[in-house]
Amino acid sequence: MKFSKRESAGYLANHMARLFARGLQARIKPLGLTTGTFPALLELWETDGLTQKELVQRLDIEQATMANTLARMERDGLVTRRDDPQDGRSQRVWLTDKARALQAPAVAAAMHQNAVALADLSESEQRQFLRLMQRAIAAMQDPANSS
């Protein structure tokens, strides 16, 4: 069986992700944001005050990557970390006013990039495409499929 990039789900998903990230980065860079911090901001805009562990679980990334991302976000004045009053062993991550003010323009930039990526698809195709991506992600996250 011959390998074809044009028929490889992995190759195409990776290529699309790189193109999307490049477009998103160009749109959020003027806001002082990066594609590395954007997913954490999306989670915190939805639920402020998460723990680092909760962010790791929600974003499905490594603990060390999240620790580095939060350190950069704290350095850039986007978040503060405070001890959890109910659990002295953990800290909660809180958005700063600066980060809250960036929500509307950053989300608008992401929505614009989504529109660019899906522009050649009908509304029905867009919904189907998103559903199929969600199913593929769920299949890869299913522990039964890990072997």
Q: Contact 92/82 with Cβ under 8 angstroms?
A: yes
List beta partners, residue 24. none
> Looking at residue 128, what is its pLDDT?
97
pLDDT of residue 2: 83
Distance between terminal CA atoms of the chain?
22
Distance of CA 22 to the CA centre of its chain: 14
CA distance 106 to 28: 6
- Determine the pLDDT at residue 90: 86
Cα–Cα distance, 41 to 95 (Å, whole number): 8
CATH number of 8-141: 1.10.10.10
* Predicted local confidence at residue 147, as pLDDT: 63
Run of H or E including 89: strand 87-95
Residuewise pLDDT in 10s, the chain (147 residues): 688 888 899 999 999 999 999 999 999 999 999 999 999 999 999 999 999 999 999 999 999 999 999 999 999 999 999 988 888 788 899 999 999 999 999 999 999 999 999 999 999 999 999 999 999 999 988 888 876
Burial readout 16-47 (b: 16 or more C-beta within 10 A, e: otherwise) = eeeebeebbbebbeeeebbeebbbbbebbbee
